[in-house]
Amino acid sequence: MRLNPERSMSETTVIELATPPLPYYWESGCAVYQAGDRHPNRADFGLFDLLVVASGTLHIGENGREWSLSEGDTLLLLPKGAHYAVRPCEEETMFYWLHFEHADWREVPALPEAEAPAPSSPFDRPKTIRLPKHAPLSDPRLAFDKIRRLLALPIGESFWEKQQLLFQLLALLEREQAGSAETPAARVAERAAFCLQQRYREAITNETLGEWLHYHPSYIVRCMKKVYGVSPARYLQQYRIEQAKRLLISTAWPVERIADEVGFRHAPYFSACFKRGTGMTPQEYRRSAHRRGALRK
């Protein structure tokens, strides 16, 4: 991988996304530029534009700052302001792009590693997702794999799968910012989180997770706590509640059905966990979400 020798103030800044709400996936794609091609110029695009370069070099600027992005480099372009081509590509250049929406964000100086907040669960309330403005990825293949899986999903379908892949990609970038992407603990924690997300409807214990991943359960627990700040059981419960929130908003299903759909076998226990995590009962959350939606119309 060719590292970019240029440095700018953006390398010491991060983009903070306050949650809730969670970032919202719009679209993604792959672009191949020939020598002489330029990235399009845009002003106040309205969406975040994440660029991940796979080969060649992309010369791009934003609001007076400039970068030459080479293989494995990422750049997060902002919804406001202007981004533009600095100069044409000198060689064939391939990069992935991903657009997502988030309303509550700010760009701030990156903290020294010792002062940076420890990574925590992506489902905690409140939570600030901290993404690097510009970063060379430690292992670009992880990001490439997630984006390719996004591109393989049908257009206009598989909404929740696309949202999950967006969250996984942002979590990967956040760990790059925290400096933990290459540690064995981070790799185990990411595998465990992905496994929990894929099988969250099932009855899962630390022992079954250990059997699936071929690690001792106590080691997986330590890795999850180190990287996400929570145990696998807590991570799973939070993820189930996030899925329940979406079903409460997007369906008219009764609470009992939603509880069963997201992996809770007893509706009263689901309601108690939901209120403990959100401060509202499932019914109150549904009514509140519908009121907010009506006000926006």
Q: Is the pLDDT of residue 107 over 70?
A: yes
Q: What pLDDT, in 10s, does the model give residues 46-94?
A: 999 999 999 999 999 999 899 999 999 999 999 998 999 999 999 999 9
Q: How much of the chain, in percent, has pLDDT values that exceed 70?
A: 86
Domain at 15-140, CATH class: mainly beta
Tokens of 101: 């929406």
Residue 4's pLDDT band (cuts 50, 70, 90): very low
CA pair distance 262, 202, nearest whole angstrom:
9
15-140 and 183-297 in the same fold: no
Between the two ends of the chain, the Cα-to-Cα distance in Å is: 48
CA pair distance 209, 20, nearest whole angstrom:
28
Long-range contacts of 158-161 (CB under 8 A, 24+ apart): 159/25, 160/243, 160/246
Between the ranges 48-62, 171-185, 275-289, where is the mean pLDDT highest? 48-62
CA pair distance 219, 69, nearest whole angstrom:
37
Tell me the CB-side half-sphere exposure of residue 29, using CA atoms within 13 A. Answer: 7
Q: Superfamily assignment of 183-297 in CATH?
A: Homeodomain-like (1.10.10.60)
Mean pLDDT, to the nearest integer, of 142-151? 91
The verdict on pTM exceeding 0.75 is no
Q: Is the pLDDT of residue 114 over 50?
A: no
Please name the amino acid found at residue 239.
Y
Q: What pLDDT, in 10s, does the model give residues 180-213?
A: 445 788 788 888 988 898 899 999 999 999 999 9
Q: Is the pLDDT of residue 101 over 60?
A: yes
Mean pLDDT, to the nearest integer, of 125-154? 85
DSSP 9: G
Q: What pLDDT, in 10s, does the model give residues 84-93?
A: 999 999 999 9
Domain ranges for the chain: 15-140, 183-297
Residue 12's pLDDT band (cuts 50, 70, 90): low
